[in-house]
Every structure is written in C-alpha cells, then in structure tokens.
Chains A and B, each alone.
Chain A
Amino acid sequence: MLQVTGLSAHYGRAHILDGVALEVAAGEVVVLLGRNGAGKSTTMKAIMGLVPPSGGQVCFAGAEIAGWEPFEIARLGLGYVPEERRIFTGLTVMENLEVGRRPAGPGQRAWTPERLFELFPSLGAMRDRPGGRMSGGEQQMLTIARTLMGNPRLVLLDEPSEGLAPVIIERMARAIGRLKAEGLAILLSEQNLHFAQAVSDRATIIEKGRIRWSGTIPELMGAEAVREQYLSV
C-alpha cells in the first residue's frame, strides 16, 4: 500500500534522510524504531510532503506522491498524526474533529464522532471543551481521532506514547489494536520498544537517517545484538 524507496531529505545543507526505504502492506502495522534524532519524524514528514523530499520515491495507493502538496496527499487517504499533537487549542473537541472530516472512500465504513467516542470514551464526555484545556493524554487521543475523521486508509502515527502515563499507554495500545482490526494500515514511530512490540507486525530500525534493519517483531525480539546496537540508550 505504501512503498518508500531511496527517500532523502535535507534541512538546509544537513542531510537528514539518506535513502530511506520501507513498506507497509494493507492492514499491517509497521513500527519505525530509532533513538531521538534518528530521523523518524522527518521520515513521516517527508512522506506527508511537510518536508520536501530531495530525492527518492513515495508510492501510495498506486500514485507517486513525492512532491505533492500535503493536502493532496491527505485527500488520497494518508492520515498524519504529528508527534507534537498540534491540537487546535482554540477549538472545541467537536470542532477539532470537524476540521479533520473528509468523505469516506468507496467500501469504507465512515468514522463519525460517535464511533470515535466509542474508541476513546473520555473524549465523549468533553465534546465542547476547548482543546487547550485538555490533558496530554486526552490531546493525544483527540489528535488521532481528528485524523481518523478524514477516513484515511493508512495513518502515520508519530510517537503516540511519548510523555504519556503507563495506564494511558495501555489504553492507546488497545485503541491501535482495534484500528488494526478495522483493517487500517499504520506506520508507527516509537522509542518505547515494549509498546511497539505489543501493537506491531513488523519493525524497521532507522539511525542517522539510514535504515539499518528490517524484520518481523519475533525476529527483532530474537536479535538481541540488533536491539543492543540501535535501540538501547
């Protein structure tokens, strides 16, 4: 469904991504693992068109989307949940969801606020609360819900567990499990290996802008040397 090959990106003269390649099949959850500053967020932004790629191909749903504008990419069915959440703080929960709303594609079951409140029950109790007056965990749920309102077929989920309490992380993992069950493909970026292995099918490790390792989760759990080299702090 999503094939990235040879993706490069620069900030000014600094090389941030160097030939990143990865793949996400329909209905699959793939995790992009790596330490701080390895290039996880930039990979996602480059796929989404928020950082202009300086080389490589991004193929999504049969279209070559490198160089497209973010809104065009989003309309093709690629959803993006940023690491910093970027909730519209002046807008209520319902209004935040409204901004994300887009019609469902053929054969898709459309997300509605009601269905999203089933997924994230705590949001349902604060429909008219401004986004700025929510806790970090609630904001994280809202930012995922907002993206789901666009009825994406694949979601780029950037470090959803960052800065959350363990009990919220558990809830988040359950929600991601349900999304996967609905048939949604997810490209996740994470530093929390425990969380990642609980929700993902496959893993790809990135370091200094290059892909270092790819394999299934069981393979990763068996390869202690790989984990030691790229993931331990």
Chain B
Amino acid sequence: MENLVLQALSGLASASSLFLVASGLTVIFGVSRVVNFAHGSLYMLGAYLAWTLVTSLPRGHLGFWGGVLGAAVLVGLIGLVVEVLLLRRIYRAPELFQLLATFGVVLIVQDLALLTWGAQDLLGPRAPGLRGSTEILGLRFPLYELFLIGVGPVVLGLLWLLFHRTRWGTLVRAATQDREMVGALGVNQRMLFTSVFFLGSLLAGLGGALQLPRESVNLHMDLSIITEAFVVVVVGGLGSLSGAALAALLIGELHAFGILIVPKITLVLVFLVMAIVLVVRPHGLLGKPEAAARGGQGSAEPLVGPAPAALRWAALAAALLAVAVPPFLGDYGISVLTEMAIFVLFAASLHLIMGPGGMASFGHAAYFGLGAYGAALAAQWLGAPMLAGLAIAPVMAGIFGLVFGFFCVRLSGVYSAMLTLAFAQIAWSVAFQWVEVTGGDNGILGVWPDAWAAPKLVYYYLALGLCLGATLLLRRVIHAPFGYALRAQRDSSLRAEAIGIDAFRIRWLGFGLAAAAAGVAGGLFAYGKGSVFPTYMGIPRSVDALLMVLLGGVQTLSGPIVGALAFTGLQEQLVRLTDLWRLVLGCVIVALVLFFPQGLAGAARARWEASRGDA
C-alpha cells in the first residue's frame, strides 16, 4: 500500500515535468499550427544551459534558482530567434514542411550541443534546500520530487490566468481558432506568434532546467522527450492546455505503475494508450475537431501528368548508368548503390500515402521493418529460402499495413500521423522486447541471400530490378483509376463520396499498398545486410523516409526518387567526410526549406516550366 502511494507520487513528479514541456508545445501548435520537432532540443538546451549557469554561479539558493530561471529565459530567447529567422518565413508552407524545418533545427542543435558541452553525461548539483528526503507513510521520498509535483499545477494555474485574464491571452485563444480574422481585426499576428514562441520555448527550457537535480544531462534528451511530449499533446488534444495536463497525468502515472504491473511492455504501454485514445476519441481527450484551416493553405497542388520527354530520357539514362557502372565499382560502392535502390522504393511507397493520398505517416519505417522481420523470421524459424523470404516480406508488411491503416486513415492531419507513429512504436517495441522470437536488441543475424545471389553484384541487380519494378508499378497505380480516386478523396473527401467513391476504402487500400511496397524494400534490405534489428522500425528511419520525400518534393512523382538519391548520397558522403554531419545536414535541410519550398524535383520542374514559358 505505502509503496503504491510512493509510486503514485513519483508518477506525479514525472507528470509535472512532462506537462511543462508539453504545455509549451501545445500552445505553440495551437496558435501557429507548427508541429515543432525542435521543442525537445529546446528542452535539452534548457538542461545544458542550466548546468553551465548553476555550476559557474556561486553556490546557494540564488546561484541555483537564478541559474534555472536564467536558463529558461535564455531558451525562450533562442526559440524567439528560431521563430524570427526560420519559422516566420514558412507559416504558409504545408504542415509537414514545417516539421522538416524544425527537424533541421534538431540536427543543428545536436551538433552544437556536442561541440559546446562534449559527449559525456553531465551531472548537475542538487537543489539547495531540497537535497534530502521526507517521510511519507513511513517511507522516504525525495523532497525535490515533492517540489516538482507542486510546480506542474502552479504553472498550469499561471498559464490559465495568463490565457483567461489578460488581453494577450484572449488574443492568443482567438488566434488559435481563426488567425486570419484576428489579423483583420487589427492584431499584428507576427508579434503574437513570436511572443507565443518565446513563452513556449521558455516552458521547454524550464522543463529541461528543472531536470538538472534529477538526472544527468546528455545528448539524447531531445528525442526522448519530444516523442513523449508529442504523445501527451496528442492524447490531450492539440492546442488544449487542460488536455495536456490531463494527458501528462495519465502518461506519468502509466509510467510509474506500468513498471510494477507489466515490466515487459513498458516501452509500448504509452503508445498503446495513445492508440486507444485516438481510436476512441479522434481528436484527443479534450481536443476539438480542427476547423477547416482558414487561410495559409497555399494554392492547389499542381496536376500530376505523365513525365515530359526530357525527363523520360534522363530517367532512362540514369537507369542505364545504374546497370552499366556497378561492375566497375568496388564492394563498398555496390552496397551504397544497393541501399539507394532500396530507399528509392521505400520513399516512393511513402510518397503514395503523402502525395496522392494526402495523408501523413510518421511511422512508415514500421512496414519497412515488418518486411525485414518477415523475411528474417521466415529464414530463421522456417528455414525459408531467400525468394520465399522476399515474397513473405510484402505480405507481412501489407497485412499489418491494412490492420494499422484501418485505424489510421479514419483520422485526419496530425492525429493520423501520430497514430501511425504509435503503431510504429508498438511494432518497434515488440521487436525490441519479445527477445525469445526476435532476439531483441541483438536482432536476427545470418539472413544471407541464397548462394546464387550471394555475390554483391548479383544481389545489387536483383535489388535494382525489384525496386525499379515496384516503383514503376506504384507510378502506374497513380495514373490508374485507383490513383484518380485517391487524389479525388485527398482534394475533397466529401465531393469524392458524392460521386460514388468510397473514400475510406480507397485510403485504406492505398495505405496497405504503400505498406506492402515498403515491405519489399525492407525484405531486400534485410538480405542485403544479412541481419535485422529493431532500429529498422525506429523513429529515425521513419524520419529519414519523410526527409527523402519532402526533400524531393511531395507534389511531383519523381520527387521521392530524387529525394531518396540525394538524401542517401548526402548522408553517406557527410558521414565519411565530417564528424559534424548532423550540423551540415541540418543546415542543408533548413536552406532547402527556405529556398526550395517545393522540394528539389519541384524546384527543377518550376524552372523547367518557366524556361518553356508555360508557368
């Protein structure tokens, strides 16, 4: 009994910290509609800056608390600079493009933090006056945790007052609903957005700074907190402050008791809850359906037509090169090209969902990984030959794509994307924690091709043939009646239904098809590497796929292909050339977002059309 109370209390302390970060994220999203991936980086910077300030200021109350608050304000200012320099320019871009930009910031901050503070974990001092512990029901409980439990409600109360008792707060709430109307009433939205960003960033910084006495400061804080914060924000309902508080409480306690009750599935529990909440309540616990976004939606997407002759010739030349050159390359070059071919298919499969389908997926790696695991498990447990394994891969990925997609395609926008992430994380943690079958973190080794395909060159041609074939097939699908229906429901679900298109079924099948195609890529990847690991389904790989599609451009069919080649090539080269590849890649992404908002292929097409004078 006493133990349970203590467990509940420490759950409350986590909930408090989580709320600080999530509240900033939800406030920023509410007003600017920016899904700010860099919010976790601001949290991490808060922790690092607090460490620097607290350790360099004189010891004592003033040094510690001054350092914590100083770090929060500094992070607020950093957020403000990011908003003014980057986000302000892309408010009219599609949501996913903003996500891409903020992901660029994540990469930049990671390397800057590494340069500034080094790779080792940093231990901060404990909070003066809160070092010891107190007795609750005869058991000892740290004072600092008790203090944190108080911080959450106090911040919630202050925010409530700010939003309901000040003119600024009223304007922010109005802008959350209809920012264009607020502008037409004479409010300078730019100032409003910038100030909201300052506040949200400050909260993230405060959340990070307050972690100093609890845990060591390290370079993984950003991504670990951002997924949890996203979960909290989505479960609570995007833009809802009280929803975020409720969800933080739920997730905090879930962590605390999950460990006691079912230690096996701790990693998956949070995402399981998110999936259930979203299936039952498509807009989160306290969220409202998004009003049809007013303004800022940009122009209609250009029509997708068959490739112009010049592009066909370029594609043919590229294909010929891909066939003719490899015999003259070494093993390393061949394996890089094999990976490129696989990622082209992977990106093309995601593009089917995002471009013609009009849905977003943050968890596309799940189907890549499921394909890989399908092949590997068949090889390990059934002794299946390679071709059977490669056939099982898309079946496995496709079936799960249909199962997961059944729920995901019912939702819209960010909610749908977050549900795909939840399913991907569930798949990942099953692979990670079901050690008896999947080998857990050690993965499954020895998934080698059959003897005839063992030479790298032969395997390359096999992969090239399958990936090219599948990519062309996806392209064909987009030009088929099914593709028209897919695009029709994207542009107007209601009108599509009115002319007899079953929008749900079309989306669902599209999702399953994309999953199966990703499964082909995953199966080929497994045999190419000779092993599978849970990381194949991890968030980073899903982000890679997003980057490829967005880099290339969502609105062109050649976009994912160009994007996959550019991204794989760039990353490969950068990792070889410099330790600071994240910094360089982040800067490249930010520059692309600012200067090529249609992606590489989109920009190329715009130039091409302009040069022919039919823009």
Using a CB–CB cutoff of 8 Å, the interface residues on chain A facing chain B are: 12, 48, 50, 69-71, 74-75, 80, 82, 86, 88-91, 95-96, 98-102, 146-147, 150
Contacts and interface: CB of A to CB of B under 8 A. Distances in A.
B167 A50 contact: no
B184 A70 contact: yes
A71 B170 contact: no
B180 A88 contact: no
Given A88-B178, A90-B177, A74 B170 contact: no
Interface string B160-196: 0000000100110110111011111111110000000
B442 to A, nearest CB: 51
A63 B187 CA distance: 19
B interface, by DSSP: helix, strand, loop or mixed? helix
Contacts of B174: 88, 91, 95-96, 99
Interface string B262-299: 00000000000000000000000000100000110001
B170 A95 contact: yes
Interface residues of B, number: 23
Contact of B187 (A48, A50, A71, A82): A71
Interface string B299-310: 110000000000
B320 to A, nearest CB: 38
A24 B295 CA distance: 28
A48 B300 CA distance: 23
Contacts of B288: 90
Given A12-B300, A75-B186, A100-B185, A70 B173 contact: no
B309 to A, nearest CB: 25
A70 B171 contact: no
5 interchain residue pairs of minimum CB distance:
A74-B186, A70-B183, A99-B174, A88-B174, A86-B181
Contacts of B180: 50, 70
Nearest to A96: B174
Contact of A90 (B173, B183, B185, B294): B173
A94 to B, nearest CB: 9
A88 B288 CA distance: 13
A14 to B, nearest CB: 11
Interface of B: 167, 170-171, 173-174, 176-178, 180-189, 288, 294-295, 299-300
B160 to A, nearest CB: 14
Contact of A88 (B177, B186, B188, B295): B177
A102 to B, nearest CB: 5
A98 B170 contact: yes
Contacts of B299: 12
B161 to A, nearest CB: 14
Given A71-B184, A71-B187, A99-B182, 6 more contacts: A48-B184, A50-B180, A74-B186, A86-B294, A90-B176, A98-B170
Contacts of B187: 71, 99
Nearest to B295: A50
Contacts of B178: 86, 88
Contact of B185 (A12, A74, A91): A74
5 contacts: A70-B184, A74-B186, A102-B185, A102-B186, A150-B185
A82 B178 CA distance: 12
Nearest to B192: A71
Contacts of B294: 86
A86 B179 CA distance: 11
B577 to A, nearest CB: 44
Contacts of B186: 71, 74-75, 100, 102, 150
Contacts of A91: 170, 173-174, 177
A69 B188 CA distance: 9
A88 B170 CA distance: 10
A99 B177 contact: no
B188 A99 contact: no
Given A12-B299, A12-B300, A91-B173, A98 B167 contact: yes
A146 B176 CA distance: 17
B170 A89 contact: no
A82 B181 CA distance: 9
A102 B182 CA distance: 12
Contacts of A150: 185-186
Contacts of A99: 170-171, 174, 182, 185, 187
Nearest to A88: B174
Given A12-B299, A99-B171, A71 B183 contact: yes
Contacts of A102: 185-186
B376 to A, nearest CB: 49
Contacts of A88: 173-174, 177-178, 181
Contacts of B167: 98, 101
B510 to A, nearest CB: 26
A146 B185 contact: yes
B163 to A, nearest CB: 11
A75 B188 CA distance: 10
Nearest to B294: A86
A88 B182 CA distance: 9
Contacts of B295: 50
Contacts of B189: 71
Scoring A12, A74, A89 by chain B CB atoms within 10 A of each residue's CB, the highest score goes to: A74
Nearest to A131: B177
A89 B183 contact: no
Scoring B170, B171, B180, B295 by chain A CB atoms within 10 A of each residue's CB, the highest score goes to: B170
Scoring B167, B176, B181, B295 by chain A CB atoms within 10 A of each residue's CB, the highest score goes to: B181
A74 B189 CA distance: 13
Nearest to A85: B181
Contacts of B183: 69-71, 74
A71 B182 CA distance: 8
Nearest to B191: A71
A88 B173 CA distance: 9
A76 to B, nearest CB: 9
Contacts of A74: 183-186
Contacts of B170: 91, 95, 98-99
Nearest to A82: B181
Nearest to A51: B295
A74 B171 CA distance: 16
A226 B299 CA distance: 37
Nearest to B288: A90
Scoring A69, A86, A91, A101 by chain B CB atoms within 10 A of each residue's CB, the highest score goes to: A86
A42 to B, nearest CB: 14
A133 B177 CA distance: 15
A95 B168 CA distance: 11
B167 to A, nearest CB: 6
A102 B176 CA distance: 20
Given A12-B299, A91-B170, A95-B170, A50 B184 contact: yes
Contact of A80 (B173, B176, B184, B188): B184
Scoring B178, B184, B294 by chain A CB atoms within 10 A of each residue's CB, the highest score goes to: B184
Nearest to A101: B167
A217 B299 CA distance: 39
Scoring A12, A82, A100, A146 by chain B CB atoms within 10 A of each residue's CB, the highest score goes to: A100
